[in-house]
Amino acid sequence: MGDITTVAGRTLALADLHASLTDPVLDAMNFLNEVVSRFPEALSFAPGRPSEGGFATDDLARHLRTYTDHLEHGLGWSQERVRTQLFQYGRTNGIIHDLIARTLAHDEDIHVSAESVVVTTGCQEAMLLTLRALFARPDDTLLVSSPCYIGVTGAARLLDIAVRPVREGGDGPDPEAVLEAVRRTRAAGGRPRALYVVPDFANPSGASMTLAARERLLEIAAQEDLLILEDDPYGFFVRVGSARPTLKALDRERRVLHLGSFAKTALPGARVGYVVADQEVVGARGERTLLADQLSKIKSMTTVNTSAISQAVIGGLLIESGCRLREANAEAIAFYRANLNTLLGELDRHFPAERRRALGVDWNQPDGGFFLVVNVPFIADAKALEDSARNFGVLWTPMSDFYLEGGGERQLRLSCSALTPEQISEGVGRLAAFVHERAARSHR
């Protein structure tokens, strides 16, 4: 922050800026993003970043070429038209919407028109557009499965949208608790508009909804006139059992908006995500559009359109996979499965059952994904994290950042996606040393 002490002239008071800037949610997100860089030597269970194992820098040029070849030779476009596609402003809702729709059909048994897919600058923009479109009145309330990914609560904060947390159980959000929250929201004068949920291997909890819970949630959504914002970045990464159908695949009534990301299944650097918004919107004169068409109006005021270059890279990658991204992720799926198994095994090894009980330590056993949660017998806050990083060389994420309503003070999130098995093993050893030291200190 270089020369700010020598500033002449205009100084702004933080208190005079938008209230989101003093919200702990936004600070937490920045903290997560930058914590790794503050302790470069520490082993980090903090970020949910994907492994880079399958990627080489030269892939970018190859994917670009695959995409332009597809336009030129597959679709018969002239070189000038291809050039325009990459160079110019483009279609607001994206240029690879058709490839994404085809991929969703193959991978997820989600069958939607290409026109209902809005390609976005990462899934984060998809959340922002969706929230902006759906939340119109001060009493409109967003329900979120809690603990909750801070991307969505942060976006809600930017737009001054009221949020009500619905506490998760071991299998993710309990549909009956959602129903209860809907009723409480109404009783308090609010209008429950939508529920945000990550059904598979949630960030941060690692929890997954059972098939029965998914079906019941859709029933409740129909009965209570609730929309569901389904975010599914980790669904491919099954550890035990088999992949469950997404809420969108089960959705018969277009109550689900399906938010998608290529950050975990392709590369985060492209910043390409999407939202399937196939709901029908009826205007004052009875004119009918797709919700995707409405999102387009908003997108033209946030980013105009998603980078054509980034879309071309992701498009090339989809084409190369035959629009079967799950198959193309076979190695990644095996890698994350092995990593999560290694993490669970190392936790078992360092905290055998008896010691676990004595210390008051335990953790959940997610069916897949990047994350699990450890309960510890001390306050696992930013201060504890600093100590852990500096003195034990290991990073993790305080769970309390993910609870809007308080909670998670004695919980930490471990992510194993960006580590090697050796690093996981070493990291859990360091974590065990830290936990033992802390536990001993808190017993003193």
Which of 9, 40, 76, 406 binds a copy of itself (CB under 8 A)? It is: 9
Q: Is 163 in the site for a copy of itself (CB under 8 A)?
A: no
Q: Is 14 in the site for a copy of itself (CB under 8 A)?
A: yes
Which of 125, 230, 367, 401 binds a copy of itself (CB under 8 A)? It is: 125
Nearer to a copy of itself by Cβ, of 308 and 361: the residue is 308
3-class state of residue 22 by DSSP: helix
CB 341 to a copy of itself: min, Å: 24
Residue 343, phi then psi, degrees to nearest 5: -60, -45
Which of 38, 74, 109, 113 binds a copy of itself (CB under 8 A)? It is: 113
Q: How far apart are CA 209 and CA 222, in angstroms?
A: 18
What does DSSP say about strands 43-44 and 117-120: parallel, antiparallel, or unpaired? unpaired
Stretch that binds a copy of itself, among 87-95, 166-174, 209-217, 359-367 (CB under 8 A): 87-95
Q: Is 41 in the site for a copy of itself (CB under 8 A)?
A: no
Q: 344 — alpha (psi -120 to 50), left (phi > 0) or beta? A: alpha
Nearer to a copy of itself by Cβ, of 225 and 331: the residue is 225
3-class state of residue 158 by DSSP: helix
Q: Is 331 in the site for a copy of itself (CB under 8 A)?
A: no
Which residues, 219 to 278, sit near a copy of itself by CB under 8 A?
222, 225, 227, 252-255, 263, 267-272, 278
CB 127 to a copy of itself: min, Å: 8
Q: How far apart are CA 132 and CA 130, in angstroms?
A: 5
Which residues, 45 to 84, sit near a copy of itself by CB under 8 A?
47, 49-50, 52, 55-57, 60-61, 64-65, 68, 79, 82-84
Q: How far apart are CA 436 and CA 182, in angstroms?
A: 42
Q: How many residues bind a copy of itself (CB under 8 A)?
A: 110
Q: Is 27 in the site for a copy of itself (CB under 8 A)?
A: yes
CB 195 to a copy of itself: min, Å: 14
Which of 45, 90, 104, 195 binds a copy of itself (CB under 8 A)? It is: 90
How many alpha carbons fall within 13 Å on the CB side of residue 239?
A: 25
Which residues, 346 to 375, sit near a copy of itself by CB under 8 A?
none
**Residue written as token pair 């984060």:** 124
Residue 84, burial from CB neighbour count under 10 angstroms (0-12, 13-18, 19+): middle
66: nearest Cα among 320, 321, 384: 320
Per the CB < 8 A criterion, the answer to whether 272 and 260 are in contact is no
Which residues, 307 to 326, sit near a copy of itself by CB under 8 A?
307-310, 313
What does DSSP say about strands 162-169 and 371-375: parallel, antiparallel, or unpaired? unpaired
Q: Is 421 in the site for a copy of itself (CB under 8 A)?
A: no
Stretch that binds a copy of itself, among 22-30, 102-110, 167-175, 195-203 (CB under 8 A): 22-30
Stretch that binds a copy of itself, among 238-246, 283-291, 347-355, 395-403 (CB under 8 A): 283-291
CB 103 to a copy of itself: min, Å: 18
CB 315 to a copy of itself: min, Å: 12
Which residues, 166 to 225, sit near a copy of itself by CB under 8 A?
222, 225
Whether a cis peptide bond, with omega within 30° of 0, leads into 398 is no
Q: What angle do CA 166, 201, 112 make, to 5 degrees?
A: 90
Nearer to a copy of itself by Cβ, of 31 and 237: the residue is 31
Quick one: CA dihedral 22, 28, 30, 35, positive or negative? positive
Q: How far apart are CA 437 and CA 443, in angstroms?
A: 10
For 286-326, strand residue ranges (E) read 288-290
Nearer to a copy of itself by Cβ, of 314 and 432: the residue is 314
CB 293 to a copy of itself: min, Å: 7
Q: Is 42 in the site for a copy of itself (CB under 8 A)?
A: no
| Radius of gyration over every alpha carbon of the chain, rounded to an integer in angstroms | 23
